[in-house]
Amino acid sequence: MTVTTNQSVREVLNQITHDPRYKNVMRMDKYDIPQTFLTLACLSIFTLSCYWYLTGTIPWWLAIPFNIVAVFLAFTPMHDASHRAVSSDSFVNDLLGTAAGQILLPGMNMPAFRAIHMDHHRYVGQDGRDPDCGLVNVPKWAGLSYLMFTDIHWLTWFFKHGRDNWSPRIKMYVYVMIATVVGLHAAFLLSPYWAEFLLLYVVPQRLGLGLVAYTFAHIQHPHGMTWEKEPFQSTVHIYESSPLRGLMFGQENHHIHHLLPHLPWYRYRRVWELANGILHKQPIPQRGWLKPAPEPIYVPGAEAFAPVDVRVVSIKEVGEGIRSFEFEPTDSDTLLPEGAAGAHMDVYIADGLIRQYSLVSHDEVTNRYRIAVKREDNGRGGSRAMHELTEGQVIKIGPPKNNFMLYENATRFILVAGGIGITPMLAMAHRLIRLNKDFELHVCARNEDAVPFQEELSVSRLAKHVHIHLDQDNGRSALSPEKVLANPGEGTQVYICGPGGFMNWLRESAIGLGWKDENIRIESFAAPIAKDVENHPFTLHLTKTNKEIEVKADQSILDALQHSGVEPAYACMQGTCGTCITTVVEGEVDHRDAFLSESEKSSNTAMCMCVSRAKGDRLSVEL
């Protein structure tokens, strides 16, 4: 399974990957200085240490520690290369990763290691599918010494589990690697230099491999936690006070690596800043390099995401056909979850009738939510049912979800609301006032009576930011995109909410005026995939070769392609990097990635093959 079936982590991923700074964080050069330096450093240390020992410059007891350091350093470029996080050029990336990998395992090749490591990322904590499970819960008879034989553990796992799930091509690479490793060891051990080989390579390689496995696998994953069910608890954060965390090359933030595996190790820290620091709010266990995480590890139960009973405490007319509703929990001990600006929630109006409404405000002092609903007599019935509610009535609401996050790091904001689209904008406006940010709030309405929340908009602190645009006699909006959106800027974010046609008009106008797509935010109630989502099989048609491939219900498109001999590039396997994006020719896509924008998804012209699927029985892609 993939991370995209978990609602909470998918929402966080969407918020992070749509932060305007995300593309810069994931940017990769052809020759990345830190990664290239680390690769050359480990190769140089190992080569010089061996040379100095063989020429009598240093004793054996100094050569061994040097080579252990080289083995430890070699893991990071080899590991990052498996995620294509060493170079933007595939050849350079795999070359550097493979070169460093020879210190860890002579004969190692990138396709084989990438397959092993990607299965770990996809199936963390799942016995039989995660090749690193045995490194977390080591056999009692061996203890931590087992970690020195990580390569043998992986080999055992491959013959028991991996080869049943991998393509013939990947299995061939594994067999080639095994033959090369065995051949090189046999050649050296049968040569006159067998003693030097044992001293300079085998001993430091085993000790270094044990140190690598302990640092980057054993302490990073609490036993019993899986990426599918407990994504935020299946990886750890190393205490800031831990003295050895500086030697972990980013993996002290291992949870960030599993969320965004395609990032180079030295950029993990920057992810903490994205999406208003959303990761700081997640229940991620912490531990030291030696000190284990406190037990039991807290895992939010189903009750954390379950609807709660609330009482309608206030209903007010706030515009033509628009009513606001205030809710508070029926249980005074229930604390409503944070309702950040831009969030919406499910309202269970009646049996089988669930609608999504944006939060106008969350008053933490009174423990109340406020929403507003416009009555639509020709709608599906939700707004009519809402307008039939009475004060004191009890209904259920779900926890807030946020697909329309206010990215507070921007320097300037332009908020544009059409009619009832003002609801999330009011929450944003009040938040921006508290942050002392520069912003404009443009409200478009049919006429003066149709302007929602007139009294609130006239409040002095808010009034100076508000611009009202009433429709003209011909029915067109009086708002002029050429004036309101006249100055595109990197530090400015445009937020638009209103009827579909209104939002599309403004977005297209903004693009035409030079605004970048990542600086334009449009309200979306697109809900995360339900936990009980069921995949169905479908046929994938490759237009360039006219080949048809059957994708099973338990397969990703990438898995099916690889089993059929097609090897597209990939890096993250969870829809956050865009490496495996391909053009869609025909068929409707079930988008499950966090990389493509809502407009790109709605255009149905591209898809991430690692997680997305076909909605129907057939899909054609340009491969």
| Contacts by 537-542, CB closer than 8 A, 24 or more apart | 538/613, 538/614, 538/616, 538/617, 538/618, 538/619, 539/617, 539/618, 539/619, 540/614, 540/618, 540/619, 540/620, 540/621, 541/585, 541/586, 541/618, 541/619, 541/620, 541/621, 542/566, 542/620, 542/621, 542/623
Tokens in use for 400? 């807030």
Q: Which residues contact 162 (CB under 8 A, 6 or more apart)?
A: 115, 116, 119, 131, 174
d(CA 72, CA 576): 28
570 pLDDT band (50/70/90 cuts)?
Answer: confident
The last residue of one of the domains, among 397, 425, 449, is 397
For residue 423, tell me if it sits in a domain: yes
The CATH number of the domain holding residue 332 is: 2.40.30.10
Q: What is the CATH number for 568?
A: 3.10.20.30
Please check whether residues 548 and 490 belong to one and the same domain.
no
Does residue 162 lie in a domain region? yes
Same domain, 150 and 215: yes
Burial 529-548 (b: 16+ CB within 10 A, else e): eeeeeebeebebbbeeeeee
* C-alpha to C-alpha distance for 248 and 194, rounded to whole angstroms: 33
- Digit-coded pLDDT (tens) for 76-126: 999 999 999 999 999 999 999 999 999 998 889 999 999 999 999 999 999
Report how far residue 462's alpha carbon sits from residue 488's, in angstroms, rounded to the nearest whole number: 24
> Is pLDDT above 60 for 393?
yes
Q: Is 529 domain-assigned?
A: no
* Domain boundary pick from 470, 494, 522: 522
pLDDT digits (tens, 9 = 90+) for 130-186: 999 999 999 999 999 999 999 999 999 999 998 888 889 999 999 999 999 999 999
Q: Does residue 101 form part of some domain? A: yes
User: Are residues 543 and 506 located together in one domain of the fold?
Assistant: no
Tokens 């480990």 correspond to 42
Rounded to 5°, angle at Cα 243 from 238 and 246: 70
The residue among 522, 555, 581 that closes a domain is: 522
Q: Which among 25-39, 369-383, 474-488 has the top mean pLDDT? A: 25-39
Q: Which amino acid would we find at residue 345?
A: M
Convert the pLDDT of each residue in 174-186 to its tens digit. 999 999 999 999 9
* β-strand pairing of 520-522 with 492-497: parallel
Q: Assess whether 244 and 388 both reside in one domain.
A: no
pLDDT band at 398 (very low <50, low <70, confident <90, very high): very high
Residue 214 sits in the same domain as residue 94: yes
Q: Are residues 391 and 467 in the same domain?
A: no
Q: What is the mean pLDDT of residues 521-528?
A: 62
Neighbours of 132 (CB within 10 A): 25
Tell whether 80 and 38 lie within a shared domain. yes
> Are 580 and 616 within 8 A, CB to CB?
no
The 3-state DSSP class for residue 577 equals: coil
pLDDT at 56 over 90: yes
**Assigned domain for 292 exists:** no
Give the pLDDT score at 531: 46
- Please give the tally of structural domains in the chain: 4
Q: What is the CATH number of the domain that holds 442?
A: 3.40.50.80
Asked whether the predicted pLDDT for residue 1 surpasses 70, the reply is no
Of the candidates 535, 536, 534, the one whose C-alpha atom is nearest the C-alpha of residue 617 is: 536
105 plus 227 within the same structural domain: yes
Contact call for residues 519 and 494 (beta carbons, < 8 A): yes
A 10 A CB-CB count for 165 gives 16
Listing DSSP states for 151-171 in one string gives HHHHHHHHHHTGGGTS-HHHH
Contact 60, 199 (CB under 8 A): yes
Asked if 215 and 70 sit in the same domain, the reply is: yes
Round to whole Å and give the CA distance between 310 and 329: 4
Whether 63 and 159 map to the same domain: the answer is yes
Helices 90-104, 110-122: axis angle to 10 degrees equals 90
233 is a domain residue = yes
User: Would residue 74 count as lying in a domain?
Assistant: yes
Strands (E), 379-465: 394-397, 412-418, 438-445
pLDDT recorded at residue 528: 42
Indicate whether 80 and 224 sit together in one domain.
yes
Q: What's 340's DSSP letter?
A: -
615 has pLDDT over 70: yes
Q: What are 499-523's pLDDT values in tens digits?
A: 888 999 999 999 999 999 889 999 8
State the average pLDDT over residues 265-276.
Answer: 95
In this prediction, residue 377 carries a pLDDT of 84
Name the residue range of residue 175's domain. Answer: 3-287
Say whether 149 sits in a helix, a strand or coil.
Answer: helix
For residues 477 and 502, is the Cβ–Cβ distance under 8 A?
yes
Alpha helices in 161-291 (DSSP H): 168-189, 194-197, 203-213, 254-259, 268-271
404 found inside a domain: no
Q: Do 146 and 20 have their domain in common?
A: yes
